Amino acid sequence: MSTNMNTAASPSPAASPAAQPGLLRTRRLADLDPADRRRLVVRSAVPDRAVRRAAAEICRSIEAGGDRALREAGAAYGGGRADPRVAPEEISAALEDTGRAVREALEAAIEAVRRHHLPQIPADHSHETRPGVRIDRRWTPLRRVGAYIPGGKASYPSSLVMTAAPAQAAGVAEIAVASPCGGDGRLDPTLLAAAALLGIDEVYAMGGAQAVAAFAYGTETIPRVDKIAGPGNAWVTAAKLEVFGVCAIDLPAGPSEVLVLADHTADPRLAAVDLLCQAEHGPDSPAVLVTTDPTLAAEVEAEISSLLPLLPRRDILRTALSAYGEVLIAEDIDEAAAFANAYAAEHVTVLTADAEQTAERVVNAGSVYVGRWSPESAGDYATGANHVLPTGGLARSHGPLGVEDFGSWRQVQTLTRRGLASIRPVIEELAAAEGLDAHRMAAAVRFEEPPPSHRRNPPPADHPTHPTHPTNPTNQEA
């Protein structure tokens, strides 16, 4: 799930609105020439260069100016206030004022996300590559994470749940939340209620590139974080890319997108509503139907026309569907699944006679929804699966946000004398081949008798010793 910004999103490969005779453009996959197919498939979550340059300037100003620059950026671009820190009392009050039904829905969502993510905690590994050469791979949770949650004109408390609950499951010690405030300087009370239920009391009213920069570089009053996670618009994505290297990020996110894969058995109304479900996120959200049935294509178009007047975001939907909506007719399921994998959509809904078998063939997707009883909104809110997903084709190499995103791996290598001796020739030969003699020496010197001036008294017998200590006379192996 990602949020969109009409003036800042990267162009979609779909045809421009002027070229569209109707809401959805219908073509046969077999009729696409290589250039047409490439325009459809090759997308990017990275914003255009103008946005990236502007976001970079904002980030540099925050790095240099700290709190003062953050206030100025908030006044200039919106989403901020003079004192960005939300008082804990305001967070508690928001929870108290939340209606029972909304609170219970938030609690159920948090519990489901925790149940899904707790089993994801990685296990440490230890093995010997040869006798006396042991490598441990140890996973450690991050210390401090910044969660960026879209806000301002809309509120996404579900995105806070999807970002913070996995971090907590991972064991992250500190979670700081940033979200843009409205014109009144206040954050959405449901978002604050979600923070209270999650036990988070560090919340800042700040948005856009300036919020990302504040988390990445730190200011006089906002401690820097180890990683920034959560969805955002093009400015947020551009800022994430700018600070990457100083601060880790989850992944760059583009406009939310959906691909519905359907055959002649699909209910056209379900296909239509699943296209609308993600297209309503913003006017630049791609929505693609791939079907083996030309009749279904026309029926889905008719259903969309009947559903649009019922939806409050119908103007956004009309813009998104006319600009970035596609219907692609496939010869068979093989061709349809092959295109779905090439497209690598954020959301893929499978509505076929053998939905589970078809879904197994979709290997490039952020999240796959199988069959008529699996709407995308279930994953967005209630199943416990994460809705922070790769967009813009990044599903070819990235997956949903998860526990493993909130920790890091360390390699711990422990060698005995015997182990080092067994690989010493490899070290010396490769070091010589690369002209790095100190590398060779680092291994060889351990087998030399140290001169008297370098000798140290051996530790007491009950003192633990490292097995490769060069002066330990007991470091011998059979």
Same domain, 104 and 237: yes
Please state at what angle helix 49-77 crosses helix 208-217, rounded to 10 degrees: 90
Residue 241, pLDDT > 80, answer yes
Same domain, 240 and 323: no
Residue 297 within any structural domain of the chain: yes
Gap between the Cα atoms of 418 and 415, Å rounded: 8
Same domain, 339 and 261: yes
- Which one of the listed residues 116, 117, 281, 347 is annotated catalytic? 347
Gap between the Cα atoms of 195 and 176, Å rounded: 10
Domain boundary among 383, 404, 431: 383
Gap between the Cα atoms of 252 and 138, Å rounded: 27
Same domain, 206 and 147: yes
87-95 long-range contacts (CB < 8 A, ≥24 apart) are 88/201, 90/192, 91/192, 91/195, 91/196, 91/200, 91/201, 91/203, 92/196, 94/189, 94/190, 94/192, 94/193, 94/196, 95/192, 95/193, 95/196, 95/197
Stretch 212-241: mean pLDDT: 96
Same domain, 246 and 259: no
The answer to whether 457 and 473 are in contact (CB under 8 A) is no
Q: 10-24, 29-43, 174-188, 332-346 — which is least confidently predicted?
A: 10-24
Residue 465, pLDDT > 50, answer no
Residue 467 within any structural domain of the chain: no
Residue 36 within any structural domain of the chain: yes
Same domain, 204 and 151: yes
CA angle in degrees (0–180, nearest 5) for 153-157-159: 100
Q: Measured in Å, how far apart are the chain's first and last C-alpha atoms?
A: 59
Element counts in the chain: helices (H) and strands (E): 16, 14
Domain boundary among 229, 250, 271: 250
The label of the residue with tokens 């971090």 reads 167
The answer to whether 402 and 366 are in contact (CB under 8 A) is no
Same domain, 113 and 202: yes
Residue 195 within any structural domain of the chain: yes
Same domain, 225 and 299: no
Residue 16, pLDDT > 90, answer no
Residue 272's domain spans which residues? Answer: 17-45+254-383
Count of structural domains, the chain:
3
Domain boundary among 196, 223, 250: 250
Gap between the Cα atoms of 91 and 89, Å rounded: 5
Same domain, 203 and 300: no
Same domain, 287 and 356: yes
Q: Which amino acid is at 77?
A: Y
Stretch 462-471: mean pLDDT: 43
DSSP H stretches of helix in 205-363: 208-217, 234-243, 268-279, 294-307, 314-324, 333-343, 355-360
Residue 23 within any structural domain of the chain: yes
Q: What is the pLDDT of residues 272-323, one digit of tens each?
A: 999 999 999 999 999 999 999 999 999 999 999 999 999 999 999 999 999 9
Q: What is the pLDDT of residues 409-434, one digit of tens each?
A: 999 999 999 999 999 999 999 999 99
Residue from 76, 65, 400, 394 nearest 235 by CA: 76
Of 252 and 89, the one with more pLDDT = 89
Q: Could you tell me the pLDDT band of residue 19, with boundaries at 50, 70 and 90?
A: very low
Residue 337, pLDDT > 50, answer yes
Same domain, 29 and 92: no
Q: 16-20, 76-80, 394-398 — which is least confidently predicted?
A: 16-20
Please indicate whether residue 347 is annotated as part of the active site: yes
Please indicate whether residue 57 is annotated as part of the active site: no
Gap between the Cα atoms of 215 and 229, Å rounded: 11
Residue 210 within any structural domain of the chain: yes
- Which one of the listed residues 242, 346, 376, 387 is annotated catalytic? 346
The per-residue pLDDT of the chain, averaged, comes to: 91
Stretch 175-183: mean pLDDT: 96
Residue 6 within any structural domain of the chain: no
48-51 long-range contacts (CB < 8 A, ≥24 apart) are 48/8, 48/10, 48/11, 48/234, 51/8, 51/234, 51/235, 51/238
Gap between the Cα atoms of 251 and 30, Å rounded: 33
Stretch 207-211: mean pLDDT: 97
pLDDT at 154: 78
Q: What CATH code is carried by the domain that includes residue 300?
A: 3.40.50.1980
Gap between the Cα atoms of 396 and 390, Å rounded: 9
pLDDT at 450: 77
Same domain, 314 and 281: yes
Residue 389 within any structural domain of the chain: no
